[in-house]
Amino acid sequence: MLYTIILYLHIFSVILAVGPIFVLFPLLNKLKKQIEFEKSIIDLVRFIVRLSKHAGHVLVTTGILLIWLGGWNWLDSWIVMTVLVLMCSIFFMARAFSPAIRKLESGEEGRDVLISKLKRSVIYYVTILLIAMWFMVQKPVLW
């Protein structure tokens, strides 16, 4: 029963970590076309990034508990690869979103350049998370 509850929390945290990121595409398109709601849109983008980041904390915690309770070996290839991919996503998220959002707010660089950079970052981040999700769902044996 405990394993099932943690599994549902794990799946819910995946939904919260990945799902809202897709909302960034229309928001960034709107930001590119509209200046009048710029502050509100930037605040919403920042909120989505934070939500995804904190859901990632729950995701990792519940994942550790599932491995421990499920009797998985920490050296199974799918676990090692998932951990590596998630470490990359943490590094990527820290370096991709917040600095670009701060520059956008301060007007340091051109809006269009920064919005394009953010869109690329969203695509890369989603790709990284989908790779991690594939390892967790498929559980391939690589070694």
- SS3 of 62-92: the string is HHHHHHHHHCCCCCCHHHHHHHHHHHHHHHH
Torsion of CA 131, 72, 14, 51, to 10 degrees: -110
First to last CA, the chain: 31
Domain boundaries, the chain: 2-138
* pLDDT tens track for 61-120: 999 999 999 989 999 999 999 999 988 888 887 788 888 888 888 776 788 888 888 899
Q: Which residues contact 35 (CB under 8 A, 6 or more apart)?
A: none
DSSP code at position 23 = G
**What's the CA gap between 55 and 89, in Å, rounded?**
13
| Predicted TM-score (pTM) of this structure | 0.81
Establish how many alpha carbons lie within 13 A of residue 112's alpha carbon, considering only the half-sphere containing its beta carbon.
1
* pLDDT tens track for 9-52: 999 999 998 889 899 888 888 887 777 677 788 889 889 988 98
Question: What is the pLDDT at residue 47?
Answer: 92
Say if residues 21 and 126 touch (Cβ distance below 8 Å).
Answer: yes
* pLDDT tens track for 115-143: 888 899 889 888 988 899 899 899 999 88
